[in-house]
């Protein structure tokens, strides 16, 4: 089976869209459709069904997806070993993106490549983009983007944002949560801070003080203690077992996630392997 067909199937499954998958792989949509049809003919199974949410896997498609993900990881391991490239990763993330999944992916790579060299930088989306442009890192995970012409953005999903804090109980109004409350922020130029500022500006609520903490765990602890409110990913809130959060208005609730590289940068086998195993998708 052609590795490009395998990668095409996995990409469509994860993006739930033929057009988005074609864009990511730099293929024509008609070519992607042909690849999926070829796989369905090969296995004599329907692998996808179309729904309101896009291209959804059938039960047989789910089985194949799980196997193909394993094959892709093995393929990238083989490419890394046979090409004898230096085991090096230079990546950046927003602080809120450093999760158990990424930590586990790095742990697995260190087990396979004891001489692995990792450069890891954290900061805002804007900072990560500048680090890429300046050549300090080669790969970044971001939430949101500035659409720089010097960078390539690969959309990998959507993040749901919530408002956290002691007042942010289910059913609480936005005004009750925000009015005169202190704002707990990672930094002034953080994307989450920008969204919180927009809420205050658009709805005309009175602000409390800004408490800049710089560390995600500290932000979450301060919110737990009732020292103020903050905007954070729902995934992070659930990961840290925060019980008090409310949904944002629809126009502020969702934000896209990206893998970002320099324009025309070709991912190494090790970088592809890291992406496949980090489960950031």
Domain 88-157+256-278, classified CATH 1.10.3080.10, yes or no: no
**Alpha carbon 93 to chain centroid distance?**
9
**Alpha carbon 176 to chain centroid distance?**
31
Kindly list the domain boundaries of the chain, sorted by start residue. Answer: 3-67, 88-157+256-278, 158-254
Reading the chain (281 residues) residue by residue, the pLDDT tens digits are 688 899 899 889 888 889 888 887 878 888 889 999 999 999 999 999 988 778 899 999 999 998 998 888 788 778 767 765 667 889 998 766 656 567 778 888 888 888 888 999 988 888 999 999 999 999 998 888 888 899 999 888 888 999 999 888 777 899 999 999 999 998 888 888 999 999 999 999 999 999 999 888 899 999 999 999 999 989 888 888 887 789 999 999 999 888 999 987 878 888 888 887 775 44
Looking at the domain that runs over 3-67, which CATH code has it been given?
1.10.10.10
Q: What is the pLDDT of residue 62?
A: 93
> Architecture of domain 158-254 in CATH?
3-Layer(aba) Sandwich (3.40)
Give CA separation, 261 vs 75, 140, 215, in Å: 22, 7, 25
265 φ, ψ (degrees, to nearest 5): -75, 135
**DSSP assigned state of 19:** H
**Matching CATH topology for 3-67 and 158-254?**
no
How many CA atoms within 13 Å lie on the side-chain side of 17?
A: 13
Q: According to DSSP H, which parts of the chain are helical?
A: 3-15, 18-25, 29-43, 59-83, 100-112, 125-133, 174-178, 191-203, 216-225, 234-239, 250-253, 269-278
Give CA separation, 103 vs 93, 116, 131, 245, in Å: 12, 14, 21, 26
Q: Which two tokens stand for residue 227?
A: 């020292």
- The pTM for the full model equals 0.65
């Amino acid at each position: 089976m052609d590795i490009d067909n395998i990668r095409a199937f996995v990409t469509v499954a994860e993006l739930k869209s033929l057009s988005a998958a074609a864009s990511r792989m730099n293929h024509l949509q008609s070519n992607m459709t042909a690849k999926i049809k070829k796989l369905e003919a090969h296995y004599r199974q329907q692998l996808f069904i179309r729904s309101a949410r896009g291209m959804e896997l059938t039960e047989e498609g789910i089985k194949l997806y799980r196997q193909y993900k394993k094959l892709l990881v093995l393929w990238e391991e083989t490419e890394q070993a046979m090409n004898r490239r230096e085991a090096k990763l230079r990546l950046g993330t927003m602080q809120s993106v450093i999760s158990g999944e990424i930590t586990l992916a790095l742990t697995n790579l260190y087990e396979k490549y004891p001489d692995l060299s990792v450069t890891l930088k954290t900061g805002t989306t804007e900072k990560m983009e500048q680090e890429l442009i300046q050549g300090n890192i080669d790969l970044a995970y971001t939430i949101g983007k500035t659409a720089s012409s010097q960078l390539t953005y690969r959309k990998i999903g959507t993040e749901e944002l919530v408002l956290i804090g002691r007042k942010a109980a289910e059913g609480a109004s936005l005004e009750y949560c925000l009015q005169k409350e202190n704002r707990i922020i990672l930094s002034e130029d953080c994307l989450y801070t920008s969204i919180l500022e927009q809420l205050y500006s658009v709805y005309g609520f009175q602000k409390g003080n800004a408490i800049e903490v710089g560390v995600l765990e500290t932000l979450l602890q301060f919110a737990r203690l009732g020292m103020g409110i903050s905007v954070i990913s729902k995934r992070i809130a659930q990961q840290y077992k925060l019980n008090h959060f409310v949904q944002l208005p629809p126009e502020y609730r969702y934000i896209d996630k990206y893998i970002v590289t320099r324009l025309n940068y070709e991912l190494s086998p090790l970088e592809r392997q890291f992406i496949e195993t980090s489960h950031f998708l």
